[in-house]
Amino acid sequence: MQSSSEPDVPSALELGAPSRSRGAWSQALRRLRRQPITLVALAILVAVFVAGALAPRLAPQGWNSIDLSARWRNHAPMLNGWHLLGTDNIGRDVLARTLYGLHTSEQDAIFAALLATLIGVAVGAIAGYRGGWPDAILMRIADLIGTFPALMLLLVAYVFLEPVTVGKAALVFALYLWIPVARIIRANFASLREAEFVQAARSLGASDTRILFRHLIPNASGTIVIAATALLGQVIILEATVEFFGLGVPSQAQPTLGNLIGDAAQGAFQLGLGWWTWAGPAACLVIVLACANLIGDGIDAALNPQSRRL
């Protein structure tokens, strides 16, 4: 009888931490449903990202298609001709260019945010759980990279990555933005590595890998989601800032929200372009950033109700 019941003991103990994590997520989802601002922001962000993903279908004429009629050049927004956000100086539809720019920017942001989160979680988990010299080396590397301003490192990297593509830009963002994620995860794991459920799993012979993936990472899942949401907005604003100055992906090769705003702002001074040429991409950028921040705050409030008044 004893031998038949012994295998169940490690399973119960090892499943204790994930079950607590699942219970915390269930409570967090219930709190999240009571936050209408967060839900509205989430719905808007999903709608905007879906519009960007469907850009080839919503704007089948393409981002570089020119309306050859002279009367549609540099024209204000109008229903006639279906140029809802107007046209630029050579007759290209601003709405189509905005959708394709959003399509590129969201791909860049999602890839960079996911890669930076994976790197940050891996580095932070090793540093926080192992401690000692791995922690010292990894965190000193993070401190060294973090001492440089983000824009300076991005500009230097872009110089050596000519010609700049969306994939190269996303990789550069990820190789810098993993630092705050690593610091957060490191602090979280350092506080949990001596917890009772970790000690119980270790005494039962669980490997370090199993402890990390079965116990610590599920307990830190809320922190990881919040960090990834914050990174999404940071990548978009950094990309727009760099490309506004013409140092990222050129608009002639592929439109992004940043290079569209930069080209329109430059053309407004040099070519007399109307405000509508930059207002559409800028409004899209502001909406994405505002929604990402509201969603991150809402998730944080749902997961940490003791620190906020819901």
Greatest CA span in the chain, whole angstroms?
90
Torsion of the alpha carbons at 298, 302, 304 and 310, rounded to the nearest 10: 80
Residue 226 pLDDT: 83
Q: Quick one: which of 274, 240, 278 has its CA closest to 259?
A: 240
| pLDDT tens over the chain, length 310 residues | 444 444 443 444 444 445 455 556 677 677 777 888 888 999 999 999 999 899 888 887 778 777 766 567 777 777 765 777 888 877 788 888 899 989 988 888 889 999 999 999 999 988 888 888 888 999 999 888 888 877 777 777 777 777 777 788 888 888 888 998 999 888 888 887 777 777 787 787 777 788 788 778 887 877 888 888 888 888 888 888 887 777 777 777 788 888 888 888 776 655 567 788 888 888 988 999 899 888 888 887 777 665 544 4
Residue 305 pLDDT: 61
Residue 25 pLDDT: 62
End-to-end CA distance of the chain: 50
Residues 83, 66: Cα–Cα separation, whole Å: 12
Burial (Cβ within 10 Å: 0-12, 13-18, ≥19) of residue 1 = exposed
- Token pair recorded at residue 55: 């850009």
- Token pair recorded at residue 7: 């295998």
Domains and CATH numbers, the chain: 22-65+81-307 (1.10.3720.10)
Residue 44 pLDDT: 93
Residue 310 pLDDT: 42
Q: State if pTM tops 0.75.
A: yes
Residue 1 pLDDT: 42
Residue 216 pLDDT: 80
Residues 108, 93: Cα–Cα separation, whole Å: 23
Residue 10 pLDDT: 44
